[in-house]
């Protein structure tokens, strides 16, 4: 979801822990190098478990810019290269790789969407959240232009089809239900 605050990082963490509880080896890649929400959560979970001497499942994690000590700007092509390298490194030792993307669209997130075997998009119970995925026909039956995020997914799927015939599952899940 391009919209910030929809619960992408929270869902990624719950998914990672759930898969680990099933005995799967999980790696997480955090593409949100500015917020680092998922990375910070994983780091805090590991530190708390160590401090309390408690065994907790903690997935392998890499923030795509996290290992750069100088915090200099990386281009999209450099981030795509780092993402590709990280995926190659993690594939052999992990059953599942979860990629957490930031709000907004850029070449890196579109590339990541195209890599996904399963794309999970959280939305809150809000027409503002639904509007980034779906727009109904007008009263006269006119179909409006596809929302930006839906267009991003379409572009990612087109790019994916140029390199593989494997299908992508796209799940849209309700988040923060009362």
Task: Supply 158's token pair.
Answer: 């087109």
Please state the pTM of the whole predicted model.
0.86
User: How do the pLDDT tens digits run along the chain, 178 residues long?
Assistant: 777 778 899 999 999 999 999 999 999 999 988 889 999 999 999 999 999 999 999 999 998 875 555 556 778 888 888 899 999 999 999 999 999 998 887 888 889 999 999 999 988 887 777 777 777 767 777 766 777 888 888 888 888 898 888 999 999 888 876 6
DSSP string, 41-64: HHHHHHHHHHHHT------EEEET
pLDDT score recorded for residue 66? 54
pLDDT score recorded for residue 139? 75
Plot region of 27 (φ>0 → left; ψ -120 to 50 → alpha; else → beta)? beta
pLDDT score recorded for residue 177? 66
Residue 62 · residue 27 · CB < 8 Å: yes
Beta bridge partners of 122: 173
CA distance 118 to 166: 11
pLDDT score recorded for residue 12? 95
pLDDT digits (tens, 9 = 90+) for 101-124: 988 878 888 899 999 999 999 888
pLDDT score recorded for residue 48? 96
pLDDT score recorded for residue 2? 73
pLDDT score recorded for residue 93? 94
CA distance 76 to 78: 5
pLDDT score recorded for residue 7? 86
Instruction: Report CA Rg, the chain.
Output: 17
CA distances from 138 to 9, 49, 125, 142, 154 (A): 34, 53, 21, 5, 22
Task: Supply 57's token pair.
Answer: 């499942």
Give buried/exposed letters for 119-139 (b at 16+ CB in 10 A, else e): bbbbbbeeeebeebbeeeeee
Residue 57 · residue 21 · CB < 8 Å: yes
């Amino acid at each position: 979801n391009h919209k910030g605050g929809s619960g992408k990082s929270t869902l990624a963490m719950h998914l990672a822990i759930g898969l680990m509880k099933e005995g799967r080896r999980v790696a997480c890649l955090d593409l949100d190098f500015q917020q680092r929400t998922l990375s910070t959560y994983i780091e805090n979970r590991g530190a708390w478990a160590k401090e309390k001497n408690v065994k907790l499942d903690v997935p392998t994690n890499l923030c795509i810019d996290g290992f750069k000590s100088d915090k200099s700007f990386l281009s999209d092509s450099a981030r795509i290269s780092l993402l590709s390298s990280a995926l190659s490194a993690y594939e052999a030792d992990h059953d599942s790789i979860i990629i957490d993307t930031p709000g907004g669209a850029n070449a890196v997130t579109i590339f990541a969407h195209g890599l996904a075997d399963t794309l999970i998009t959280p939305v809150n119970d809000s027409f503002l959240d639904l509007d980034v995925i779906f727009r109904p026909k007008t009263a006269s039956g006119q179909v409006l232009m596809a929302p930006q995020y839906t267009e991003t997914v379409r572009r990612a799927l087109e790019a994916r089809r140029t390199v593989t015939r494997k299908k992508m599952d796209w799940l849209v899940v309700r988040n923060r239900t009362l």
